[in-house]
Amino acid sequence: MKRIYIPLILLMLLLFVSCKPEEPLVKQDFALATVVKITLRDHATEELMDQLFARLREIEERMSMVKKESDVYKLNHAQGEALQVHEDTYYVLQKAKEYFELTGGYFDPTLGSVVELWKIGTEEAAIPSSEELEKALTHVDGRQIELLDNLQVRIPQGAVLDLGAIAKGYAADEMAKIAKEEGVTSAIFDLGGNVLTLGDKEGKKFRIGIQEPFSEILRGSPFAILLLSNQTVVTSGDYERFFEEDGKRYHHILDFRTGYPVENELASVSIITDSSIRADALSTAVYAMGREKGKAFIESQENLEAIFVTRNKKVSVTTGLSESFILEDSSYHQE
């Protein structure tokens, strides 16, 4: 009998081991001015994780405003001369100009001259003078970016590129592409709240928390859950980076017309689609548009959904999210 049962027991153990789900591999680091967390649920190796973060670093090195060897830094200091850039930078600038035109300037990669005045997110953050803002605004116009042949780019003297509202989305798309090529079918790429999902979790959609915009803790408890598979969600809001002076909050999403932080009824906007670079750029633009204009814009586009949260905790979602949006916090009212 022993000769019969021992092989059967071994076979059962082998079957149990082979059916056991693979343990997720998780790595977290800081890049593109935010915390980046990658979760690989299958085909997960340290070598692949290193490859993904290396790709992230490449993009950061090319699009940083402060790293002196980056394409963006060099263009901002080129005194109006044309420079050859990496194809990554050229592609992102192509998309940036596309979203500038699509949104009527609500997404503008040349807002850097104004961003530099406010210094929001640093200890030197302060309200610029009206004269400083007026001068900086003369250099804000996405149409002035010239994309020439052979990866050559030229911006006018005084213009300042800032790709902070689009680079994270591009990085997420690029890392997901690499993961797919390596056979990964289930993963999450979280770049400071810019979340891209690849596949699902054991046959069910990923449950992605939507940031509570009124929490004192950034990336704190979510007020809602979004069910996603092979989609991305990017949230923009006034709670992410700001400073207060005389009881008033000054946040980092700036109005291209006035140079001041956008003022409307919105606390946050989340954009859902299948391209993270698209969601990244449009989340900023739609927030700046305000709720009514933002809704109209979303409805005019294909494969684009949104969640709007107002300062008085009213929530509205577009029709395509009716079965994937779950309101968790009873202090909010869904319209």
How many Å apart are CA 212 and CA 219, to the nearest integer? 8
Q: Tell whether 183 and 34 lie within a shared domain.
A: yes
Per-residue pLDDT tens digits for 18-39 = 445 578 999 999 999 999 999 9
pLDDT at 10 over 70: no
Please indicate, yes or no, if residue 161 is contained in any of the structural domains.
no
The mean pLDDT value of the chain amounts to 93
Q: Tell whether 228 and 107 lie within a shared domain.
A: no
Q: Tell whether 147 and 185 lie within a shared domain.
A: no
Q: Tell whether 48 and 179 lie within a shared domain.
A: yes
Q: Tell whether 181 and 146 lie within a shared domain.
A: no
Which tokens sit at 191? Answer: 């770049």
CA 197 to chain centre: 13
The better pLDDT of the pair 180, 121 is held by: 180
pLDDT band of 13, cuts 50, 70, 90: very low
Q: Tell whether 179 and 301 lie within a shared domain.
A: yes
Q: In what helix (H) or strand (E) does residue 88 lie, and over which residues does it extend?
A: helix 87-102
Q: Tell whether 111 and 141 lie within a shared domain.
A: yes
Please indicate, yes or no, if residue 118 is contained in any of the structural domains.
yes
CATH number at residue 111: 1.10.3980.10
- The one-letter amino acid code at 141 reads D
Please indicate, yes or no, if residue 184 is contained in any of the structural domains.
yes
Per-residue pLDDT tens digits for 83-100 = 999 999 999 999 999 999
Q: What predicted TM-score, i.e. pTM, was given to this entire model?
A: 0.91
Please indicate, yes or no, if residue 19 is contained in any of the structural domains.
no
Q: Tell whether 42 and 183 lie within a shared domain.
A: yes
- The one-letter amino acid code at 262 reads V
Q: What pLDDT score was predicted for residue 8? A: 44
Residues in the chain: 335
Backbone angles phi, psi at 276, to 5 degrees: -75, -35
pLDDT band of 230, cuts 50, 70, 90: very high
Please indicate, yes or no, if residue 1 is contained in any of the structural domains.
no
Q: Tell whether 108 and 240 lie within a shared domain.
A: no
Which tokens sit at 93? Answer: 């600038």
Identify the domain containing residue 186 by its residue range.
25-58+173-330
Which is nearest to 192 in space by CA: 247, 241, 225? 241
Answer with the one of 91, 119, 154 that is the final residue of a domain. 154
Q: Tell whether 208 and 98 lie within a shared domain.
A: no
Which tokens sit at 311? Answer: 């300062």
Which is nearest to 104 in space by CA: 323, 257, 305? 257
Beta-strand (E) ranges in the chain?
Answer: 25-31, 34-40, 83-84, 146-147, 152-154, 187-191, 194-198, 206-211, 222-228, 232-237, 242-245, 248-251, 266-273, 305-310, 314-317, 325-327, 333-334
pLDDT at 12 over 50: no
Answer with the one of 93, 119, 154 that is the final residue of a domain. 154
Q: What pLDDT score was predicted for residue 22? A: 73
Count of domains in the chain? 2
Please indicate, yes or no, if residue 162 is contained in any of the structural domains.
no
Range 200-211 average pLDDT: 96
CATH number at residue 31: 3.10.520.10
Please indicate, yes or no, if residue 308 is contained in any of the structural domains.
yes
Per-residue pLDDT tens digits for 99-124 = 999 999 999 999 999 999 999 989 99
CA 97 to chain centre: 17
pLDDT band of 178, cuts 50, 70, 90: very high
Using an 8 Å Cβ cutoff, are 176 and 189 in contact?
yes
pLDDT at 254 over 70: yes
Answer with the one of 103, 120, 154 that is the final residue of a domain. 154
Neighbours of 92 (CB within 10 A): 27
Residue with tokens 């919105």: 266
Q: What pLDDT score was predicted for residue 216? A: 65
Q: Tell whether 254 and 284 lie within a shared domain.
A: yes
Per-residue pLDDT tens digits for 274-325 = 999 999 999 999 999 999 999 999 999 999 999 999 999 999 999 999 999 9
Using an 8 Å Cβ cutoff, are 224 and 208 in contact?
no
Please indicate, yes or no, if residue 254 is contained in any of the structural domains.
yes
Q: Tell whether 204 and 183 lie within a shared domain.
A: yes
